[in-house]
Amino acid sequence: MAHIICIANQKGGVGKTTTAVNLSAALAVSEKRTLLVDCDPQANATSGVGLDKHRIEKTLYQGMIGETAAQNLIMDSSIECLKVIPSNVELIGFEVEMMPKPNRERALRNLLTGIVNTFEYIILDCPPSLSLLTVNALTAADSILIPLQCEFYALEGLGQLLQTVKRIKRNLNPNLFIAGILLTMFDKRTNLSYQVAEDAEKYFKNLIFKTIIPRNIRLSEAPSFGQPILLYDATSTVAESYFNLAKELLNR
């Protein structure tokens, strides 16, 4: 049965989609059957693995409103062991249409039930908000991985996310646990990055992954070519970092 990992932080620009895409790729290259589910209407994870979000007929939206089964949504990527359930702007309609319906928080969990035995890992990329889509991802997940950028105000809002996780555990998903906090955009040239890392380790201790994702121009370029960094520049230090993150998860 798949281990389902939700990549979430309500702050934008912290590296959620970058982490979702590249962690998924690293797990797949490690020969783990992996599914990347794009839960964000911006669909950056979809385009980040080379799929054209404008030409896809069936996306996560159709699955979450009950029009089709998850098996019918799965698409291939350029990595053999990595499959994708794509998204596009239609997914915005999910929150409006499902708001009055009972059990709306469990739509994604119910959708994934039929395919959890097909994969070893399912990675959920969330939108930058604590919306119904994010609540669905947290309800469907076994664990949450929180990217935390090494920049000013990094810890701001993290408490709100952790409170949301507690509420989800209490009311919707009692088995949800925090897989870890991943420091991203680390710039070794600045004192600020070291200070954020020090503060994070002080407050969250063992929750901090040993792997740190550096700020890297090649990592920023890769999505425009529709490739994970492991394909775009496999020898880069940041590609190695995502391999190390995958190893940490596998060892845990």
Q: Which pLDDT belongs to residue 98? A: 87
Q: Which pLDDT belongs to residue 13? A: 87
Q: How confident is the model at residue 147 (pLDDT cuts 50, 70, 90)?
A: very high
- In the predicted structure, residue 232 carries a pLDDT above the cut 80: yes
Q: Which pLDDT belongs to residue 151? A: 84
Interacting residues of 106 by C-beta distance below 8 A, sequence separation 6+: 136, 139, 140, 172
- In the predicted structure, residue 168 carries a pLDDT above the cut 90: yes
Q: Which pLDDT belongs to residue 202? A: 87
216 is written with which tokens? Answer: 């890297």
Q: Which pLDDT belongs to residue 95? A: 86
pLDDT digits (tens, 9 = 90+) for 45-67: 999 999 999 999 999 999 999 99
Average pLDDT over every residue of 129-144: 96
Average pLDDT over every residue of 82-86: 98
β-pairing, 177-186 with 3-7?
unpaired
Average pLDDT over every residue of 84-94: 96
Q: Which pLDDT belongs to residue 156? A: 79
The β-bridge partners of 112 are none
217 is written with which tokens? Answer: 């121009």
Average pLDDT over every residue of 141-160: 89
Domains along the chain with CATH numbers: 3-251 (3.40.50.300)
Q: Which pLDDT belongs to residue 34? A: 98
Average pLDDT along the chain:
94
pLDDT digits (tens, 9 = 90+) for 1-36: 899 999 999 888 899 999 999 999 999 999 999 999
Average pLDDT over every residue of 100-114: 93
> pTM of the full predicted structure?
0.96
More confident residue, 252 or 199: 199
30-69 burial, b at 16+ Cβ within 10 Å, e below that, comes to bebbbbbbbbbbbbbbbbbbbbebeebebbbbbbbbeeee
- In the predicted structure, residue 226 carries a pLDDT above the cut 80: yes
